[in-house]
Amino acid sequence: MYLVTKGKKGGYEAVHRFFHSVKGTAGTLELEEISHSAEKLQLLLEEKEEAGFLEDHEIVTVIRGLGEVLILMESRMEEEFGKESKENFRGSVAPETGELLSTEDMKRGLSHREPSSIQATGRILLIDDEVSVLNFIGNILRNYDYEVMVSPDPEEAMETLKSEAFDLVIVDVVMPGKSGFDIHEFILREKIHIPVVFLTGVQNKELRYRALRDGVDHFLEKPIEPAELLSRVEGIMKKQHNKNTEVFTDELTGAFSRKYFTKRFEEEKQRHHRQGKFFSIAFMDLDHFKEANDTYGHLFGDEVLKGFVECIRRNLREYDQVFRYGGDEFLLLLPETTNEEAYIVVERIRKSVKEKVFTPEGEEEYQISFSSGIAMMKEPNVSMRELVEKADEALYRAKEKGRNQTIYAPNKKEQRKRKILIVDDTLLIANLIKTRLAYLNYEIAHAQDGEEALEMIRKFPPDLVLLDIMLPKLTGTEVLKRLKGDPDYRDLKIIMISAKNKEKDILSNIRLGANDFITKPFSLEVLEEKIKKLL
């Protein structure tokens, strides 16, 4: 770090930029204590902006404040990710600039917090008012590929249970406001079919007896033993999987049932909503199946259906699933798969089906074919019924064109992706914004200073610029002046970003031509709405 001494303007700017970065980033991540500590020191420096230096006693205040901020940040890192993350964090502040490094630069220290893949072994909701317990249990389960959502607020957790699907709930028995018993009663009342594990640090037989009477037969005592936790969760998941297999499997063909498709569709839709992960479905229908049934009998028809599903399963990837939708109609659910990729999967199945030969008793060999329609989930608000109807329309077109072929669902004319340029020297903020906007189908670029921003705008003109005021080399306000003074970029949409909520600064930038203004720390939802209004 630079020390701020008389005559060293560069040192003053570096320290000021560091506290500015910490305040905005921590506030956006809802780390209020860290944000407030950084803000106090930023304000102290701004009071001395004209002089450009600090007196000796003020230098002591800044150094102590810096230590306080770093201790708070290390403490939060240890709470979130464990003791080993401290060293990784200490390398996450660039000493030559005072900037926070990006999430990519810190990846080694945070790798065990990455979201689980589509092959995750189960989705768990963890509810406890103790943040340390949430972090401890959550990290253990994530390390074993469970997808974990945590909530310290029972009321919030109940709302989450209404809208999202989970395989298991782990909940503390004793919490302020709502207890674990309240959560369990809510689950029963809402008819949410999901196993519950009670966490308890209280050696109270009456609590355990009450839980058993209420139908909760899984307990974990604090302090939690990782081996016991994992064994308990794995056992429950296996039992739940076997139960689901019985309930959600078509008895004749072994394909999953239509009821299970509804559940899996909602899970994939939620993943699409949270992470922007697209998926496709394929509606498949056997050609002339009724004729074969009428000619050779229902027993032969059953053999055809079973053989068809065998062909499908042999050619699916491990995370794809086949569902019997009704009669001779089947659906494929293909996670993280585009129209084009789904087409390849279906045509691979077609090749296998073409080679499959059936022999009715006393008759000549019989071969089958199928028609298919594909629809891709691109927009978060599309319902299951709407997407299935799109695939069904494509299936109908395939039959109209002569059967034994695959057709994509008719899509609206593809629109050009809107380009957004983020200009902010705080890489973590830029990455947060990029992640948030990914599912809205914007093309995102990033510049770290004013000069780089102007160069990128001239080479690859964006539709909108998110422009931080405080930038190295060239300030955001100066970039705004140059753009609005150039006839080629006068109509470019620009949202200014600032850590200062001063009316004169806002008015000044609006007068220069900015379309909108947002102050750090800001809500990503609010930023999203501002972007939508302008584009």
Supply the pLDDT for residue 305.
97
> Span 115-247: which CATH code?
3.40.50.2300
Q: Is the pLDDT of residue 289 over 90?
A: yes
Q: Is the pLDDT of residue 316 over 90?
A: yes
Q: Strand locations in 352-417, DSSP E? A: 370-377, 406-408
Could you state, in order of their start, the residue ranges of all structural domains in the chain? Answer: 9-101, 115-247, 258-408, 419-534
- Each residue's pLDDT tens digit, 89-116: 444 444 333 343 333 333 333 233 333 3
Cβ atoms 376, 388 nearer than 8 A? no
Q: Say if 258-408 and 419-534 have the same CATH topology.
A: no
HSE-up of 394 (CA within 13 Å, CB side)? 24
For residues 156-164, give the mean pLDDT. 87
Q: Is the pLDDT of residue 422 over 80?
A: yes
Q: Is the pLDDT of residue 274 over 80?
A: no
For residues 145-168, give the mean pLDDT. 89
Tokens in use for 288? 């002339």
CB neighbour list of residue 235: distance below 8 Å, 6 or more residues apart: none
- Each residue's pLDDT tens digit, 460-478: 789 999 999 989 889 999 9
Tokens in use for 204? 């109270």
The confidence band for 11, taking pLDDT boundaries of 50, 70 and 90, is low
Measured distance CA(277)–CA(270) in Å, rounded: 9
Region of poorest pLDDT, from 14-23, 90-99, 375-384: 90-99
- Each residue's pLDDT tens digit, 46-85: 776 666 666 777 777 777 777 777 777 666 655 654 544 4
* Between 30 and 531, residue with greater pLDDT: 531
Supply the pLDDT for residue 18.
73
Spatial strand order in the sheet of 419-423: 443-447, 419-423, 464-468, 493-498, 516-519
Region of poorest pLDDT, from 114-123, 345-354, 423-432: 114-123
Supply the pLDDT for residue 23.
65
The confidence band for 25, taking pLDDT boundaries of 50, 70 and 90, is low
Q: Decide if domain 258-408 falls under CATH 3.30.70.270.
A: yes
Full-model pTM: 0.44
For residues 237-250, give the mean pLDDT. 80
The confidence band for 413, taking pLDDT boundaries of 50, 70 and 90, is very low
Q: Is the pLDDT of residue 10 over 80?
A: no
For residues 307-314, give the mean pLDDT. 96
Class of domain 419-534: alpha beta
Pairing of strands 419-423, 443-447: parallel
Supply the pLDDT for residue 95.
36
